[in-house]
Structure 1
Amino acid sequence: MKRARLVPPLALVAAVSVAATACRAPAAQDTADGPRTASAAVDYNPQPYDKLKDGGTYTTAGTFDDQGNPFHVNATLTAARVWAWYNADAITYTPTGGVRYNPDYYSDVKVTVDGGHQKVVLTLNPKATFNDGTPIDWRAIEATWKANNGSRKEFGAASTDGYDRITAVDRGKDAKQAVIRFRGVNPAWPALFSTFLHPKAATAGNFNTAYVKKAHPEWGAGPYTVGSWDTHSGNLSFVRNPRWWGKKGKLDKRVYVNLEPTAAVNAFKNGQLDYVSAVDAESLEQLKGLKGTEIRSGGSPFEYALNFNTRSPILADKAVRKAVVESVDRPQIARIQFQGLDHKEPLPGSAVLYSFQKRYEDNVAAVLKYAPGQAPRTLDAAGWKPGPDGIRVKNGRKLEIGYTLLGDDPLGKATAGALAAMLKPAGIHLVVKKGDDADFAKILNEHRFDLILSGNRSMDPFGTRYLCDFYCADRDSNLTGAGTPALDKAIRATAGLADLGEQARAVNEVERKALAQYAFLPLFSGPSTYGVKKGLANVGATIFLSPLPETVGWQK
């Protein structure tokens, strides 16, 4: 669908017992003692539909998001995952990013280019119908485009890229055919219509607020629909949809139970859950060897980064941001994350592409250098002078920077302590400010932070189309607020390049310019590692693959 914003990195396998001390990077190339390419391995017990039992329940830890519309800027990964269980999964991907059209929604897809402009003709399945009886036809495609193309600012769209290059969505030979016309060529167009909105959900009011802590199963479609949605407990479930026209879901019920990560591991051990993320080295050890359990681990389309709020008075100074970047020992942060685990990875070098993808370049290493000896000189030149307590001062103001720490997990505390130790020699005092996990989206969206660690998960392989979401100064999705009109123009120019190779070269060049704003520092990705009950099929580490809900179930 899109890049989905992640909650803090509790879903990663990570260490909880590590000294919060800074140390010098061991290698000049800024690697994390690992391979040059991240793992693209998958591990999810792939099974065909006819090899699955009919019936059963699949239960995991989870809950719904404050904003349940995944097209909205305030939505996180949770919204995308919940949405997929009761709304259209019209386009999915193979683990390596190959495009798959779901014939239950799109019975035919034709893409042509004439005069340098692309036309996509989507023929929708005659049986495709929203749960309220509204036909899924060209108007759903049109409504999704209009809500996300940026022409109406009252829509809080997460990403307008690609939608803003569509010049028209028209009715084709009949209502069940949508003709989409682009200005130029957009090779990443499948990411725009992997799911879609009910036309009633595409008014500004409904787009922004209808899904806030609510589900609208009547506007959904698919093999499952909402069974229960408990706003008090946060629990929810999905059951087979009697209005579904395709192969029925193999499961009787899909259940989410609202549990904290550590409680989830205990619930899995007690047989209450069928699948759980290994949240730290200790929990992974608890899951290993557990009767009837498999550990499934593979590559990860996740990335966590340190975001600098350039709107805050202290970080409006580019020299301060540069000194912070020069002080942060990324390999040490990676070692904190993966202490005690059999996991090594290269440090992430881009916000939009992963090292296992074609055309990836390490733009971070080319621009953002770990240079703790240079950081004091950077601050000296900007007029920040050492104070008697070692904290630098300028115009009577101490160089104190807030770091928002969400939750109480030991890993988060260790990371905060390590960052404080890294910044101290330069004369920067890191003030750790505690926040509640539940306020994560609000803290980001209202920019109530100086520094914060947050992440993104790629829901599709077309990473280059998200360059503007990360770096354009006028985008709400750009958490840092950094950028310039000239940079925005250069970023947007990359979207008009039809050749993927040419586009990637331009994106890499522009991203290096964007990183030179010293406002965004990729830190780590981590593995996707899970404890899974044996026999559960099509669940686990999948990279870009999102198995269709009707294919998830228990192996015969």
Structure 2
Amino acid sequence: MRSRLALPIALIAAVSVAATACQSSSGKSSSDAAAKDAPKAASSVADYNPQPYDNIKDGGTYTTAGTFDDQGNPFNVNATLTASRVWSWYNADAITYSPTGEVQYNPDYYSDVKVSVEGGHQKVVLTINPKAVFNDGTPIDWTAIEATWKANNGSDKAYSASTTAGYDGITSVEKGVDAKQAVITFKGVDASWSSLFTTFLHPKAATVDNFNQAYVKKAHPEWGAGPYTVGSWDEHSGNITFVRNPKWWGKKGKLDKRVYVNLESAAAVNAFKNGQLDYTSAVDAESLKQIKGLAGTEIRSGGSPFEYSLNFNTKSPILSEKAVRQAIQESVDRPQIAKIQFQGLDYKEPLPGSAVLHSFQKGYQDNVSAVLKYAPDEARKTLDAAGWKPGSDGVRVKDGKKLEVGYTLLGDDALGKATAGALTAMLKQIGVRLVIKKADDADFSKILSERNFDLFLSGNRSMDPFAARYLCDFYCSDHDSNITGSGTPELNKEITATTEIADLDAQNAAVNEVEQKALQEYAFLPLFSGPSTYGVKKGLANVGATIFYSPLPETIGWQK
């Protein structure tokens, strides 16, 4: 399952609000002191009113904004974070993680897990709960694990898999002592194997056609399993209602209904204020101001494994030149972008320095600052040396062609427009004209799949703590999920080698070393991260800023 799910800047409202202290890389920014004084502990806090199952009331409804995305299969390359969240309400949640990333096995699916290494090769034996069954009556057994592996291991290019990383290191999935046991054998070792089977596919859902198309604007509750199933889905409005699943064998869901209402971010805040929603994300200072202090409301804010980055399309004619990409990155004042994004929010943290590790994780280091400094003067020199000379209108020219770069802006989001304006001014100073190209939110998947952009700002969320597993998603030249198209075969090999290190500390050290090389392609620039902040009705349990934790659906509800 893909752990990092691309999100357009216009959809930040649906997921998180972040604030960041400003890091100076030139020594001239007024933000130096802020960076030094930035509190680090705040980014590691989880805030979600944790309550044990027995302390949750039986009954009630939980309503938020959300809907089925175009692609509802979270293993598919075009799936988003929303798709993953909706999926978890009517499909298996077999492995989850604590807020800080410790592995948790769900005995309702995996009654026993054994991991061993023999002759340098890792073996994982999953014993599946004898009661586990898909909603259509098909037993959940080793064939579901096998089908999930085959759909995602890259051997059949017809599958539009989000990532093959990890799956491609498995040499076999076989039946164990009986059909309820899956024996997974790896070529070498995989320290992050648990992230491969947090959920799984019904064998029928794992054919090429169904994997790619069956979940496009459709739900398939018959192929699902869990405490809830789809009660209704209004294809016109996009609203979804989940109800208790009569075929569920584990602890029953506490809620009578889980409801998603299809609303835009601004409408969601208003709906929360009017009592129509039980939970909403505070996207900016204004939305936080609107919900703060409402009767019966709590503000829950904590760490976030989100990150928003500027992607450079290395396949576009103007950005195929590394010198141009480097100069643009040297001219981007990240502290200023962060200041725009989080004005009015009382939170500070260091700017993100990695695509795959977060500042609250063990092993994190700031790889961006190790290879890049904010230096417009150097950027001008870089362009001079590359033959781009200032034109009479201030825009550089080379071989009769102006240095104009497109910036794809989704939707009509105020923060998105302000960020585009700031980037325009920053690039103008070095002789680059930024051309804003507006697109609809609905075009998001198409823009990525067709790589129809020069510069594009998008976000990703880590669903688990394993950095090495996702390096390829960002930096491997042969991976569709690397939307920049950057990289080399040599770098691919170095990235892949990090996944073969069994010790997590040593693995993260190798990840940092390789990522610094990858960042010198100047195709990917982390911009800001920050906390997740939500307005939540008092009494709602196990909901809020959970960092890596995904509470099981049956544990979510109203506190007694």
TM range (shorter): over 0.9
Please show how residues 517-528 of structure 1 align to structure 2 within 5 Å.
517-528=521-532
- Over 3 Å counting, the alpha-carbon distance change for 1:37 and 1:49 in structure 2 is closer
- Is 1:388 matched with 2:392? yes
Q: Deviation of residue 506 (structure 1)?
A: 1.3
Match of 1:135, SS state, is coil
- Is 1:232 matched with 2:233? no
- Over 3 Å counting, the alpha-carbon distance change for 1:38 and 1:184 in structure 2 is farther
Provide TM-score, normalisation by structure 1.
Answer: 0.97
Match of 1:511, as an amino acid? E
Deviation digits for residues 373-401 of structure 1, max 9, x if unmatched? 11111101001011100000111111111
- Is 1:49 matched with 2:53? yes
- Is 1:219 matched with 2:220? no
2:108 maps to 104
1:353 maps to 357
Match of 1:420, as an amino acid? T
Match of 2:43, SS state, is coil
Check the 8 A contact 2:467/2:508 in 1, yes or no: no
Q: Deviation of residue 27 (structure 1)?
A: 5.5
Check the 8 A contact 2:18/2:529 in 1, yes or no: no
2:433 maps to 429
- Over 3 Å counting, the alpha-carbon distance change for 1:37 and 1:48 in structure 2 is closer
How many aligned positions are there? 549
Please show how residues 273-422 of structure 1 align to structure 2 within 5 Å.
273-422=277-426
Unmatched 5+ stretches in structure 2: 20-26
Match of 2:7, as an amino acid? L
Please show how residues 191-230 of structure 1 align to structure 2 within 5 Å.
191-230=195-234
d(CA) in 2 for partners of 1:361, 1:29 = 20
Check the 8 A contact 1:309/1:447 in 2, yes or no: yes
Q: Deviation of residue 53 (structure 1)?
A: 0.9
Deviation digits for residues 74-129 of structure 1, max 9, x if unmatched? 11101100100000000001101011100000000011111111111000000000
Match of 2:458, SS state, is strand
1:114 maps to 118
Please show how residues 378-527 of structure 1 align to structure 2 within 5 Å.
378-527=382-531
d(CA) in 1 for partners of 2:557, 2:475 = 40
Check the 8 A contact 1:56/1:554 in 2, yes or no: yes
Q: Deviation of residue 29 (structure 1)?
A: 10
d(CA) in 2 for partners of 1:333, 1:32 = 18
Q: Deviation of residue 38 (structure 1)?
A: 6.3
d(CA) in 2 for partners of 1:397, 1:359 = 45
1:249 maps to 253
Q: Deviation of residue 494 (structure 1)?
A: 1.3
- Is 1:3 matched with 2:7? no
Deviation digits for residues 201-249 of structure 1, max 9, x if unmatched? 1111111111011010000000000111222111111110010001110
Check the 8 A contact 2:297/2:535 in 1, yes or no: yes
Match of 1:264, SS state, is helix
- Over 3 Å counting, the alpha-carbon distance change for 1:28 and 1:489 in structure 2 is farther
1:84 maps to 88
d(CA) in 1 for partners of 2:234, 2:37 = 46
Provide TM-score, normalisation by structure 2.
Answer: 0.96
Correspondent of 2:155 among 143, 151, 155: 151
Q: Deviation of residue 32 (structure 1)?
A: 8.4
- Over 3 Å counting, the alpha-carbon distance change for 1:31 and 1:435 in structure 2 is farther
1:267 maps to 271
Check the 8 A contact 1:3/1:460 in 2, yes or no: no
> Which stretch shifts more, 93-102 or 407-416?
407-416
Correspondent of 2:550 among 517, 527, 546: 546
Match of 1:108, SS state, is strand
Match of 1:4, SS state, is coil
Check the 8 A contact 1:364/1:515 in 2, yes or no: yes
Match of 2:130, as an amino acid? P
Check the 8 A contact 2:8/2:457 in 1, yes or no: no
Check the 8 A contact 1:30/1:331 in 2, yes or no: no
Check the 8 A contact 1:61/1:264 in 2, yes or no: yes
- Over 3 Å counting, the alpha-carbon distance change for 1:29 and 1:3 in structure 2 is farther
Check the 8 A contact 2:172/2:185 in 1, yes or no: yes
Match of 2:273, as an amino acid? K
Deviation digits for residues 261-310 of structure 1, max 9, x if unmatched? 11111101111000000121111111111000000000000000000001
- Over 3 Å counting, the alpha-carbon distance change for 1:533 and 1:30 in structure 2 is closer
2:30 maps to 26
Q: Deviation of residue 5 (structure 1)?
A: 2.2
d(CA) in 1 for partners of 2:39, 2:386 = 38
> Which stretch shifts more, 126-135 or 396-405?
396-405
Check the 8 A contact 1:31/1:331 in 2, yes or no: no
- Over 3 Å counting, the alpha-carbon distance change for 1:110 and 1:347 in structure 2 is same
1:20 maps to none
- Over 3 Å counting, the alpha-carbon distance change for 1:370 and 1:376 in structure 2 is same
Match of 1:544, SS state, is coil
Match of 1:435, as an amino acid? A
d(CA) in 2 for partners of 1:34, 1:28 = 10
- Over 3 Å counting, the alpha-carbon distance change for 1:14 and 1:510 in structure 2 is closer
- Is 1:173 matched with 2:177? yes
Match of 1:374, SS state, is helix
Match of 2:207, as an amino acid? T
d(CA) in 2 for partners of 1:37, 1:378 = 38
Q: RMSD over aligned Cα, in angstroms?
A: 1.5
Check the 8 A contact 2:48/2:541 in 1, yes or no: yes
Match of 1:130, as an amino acid? F
d(CA) in 2 for partners of 1:12, 1:56 = 26
Q: Deviation of residue 200 (structure 1)?
A: 0.4
Indicate the percent of aligned positions where both proteins have the same amino acid: 77
Unmatched 5+ stretches in structure 1: 16-22
1:190 maps to 194
Match of 2:8, as an amino acid? V
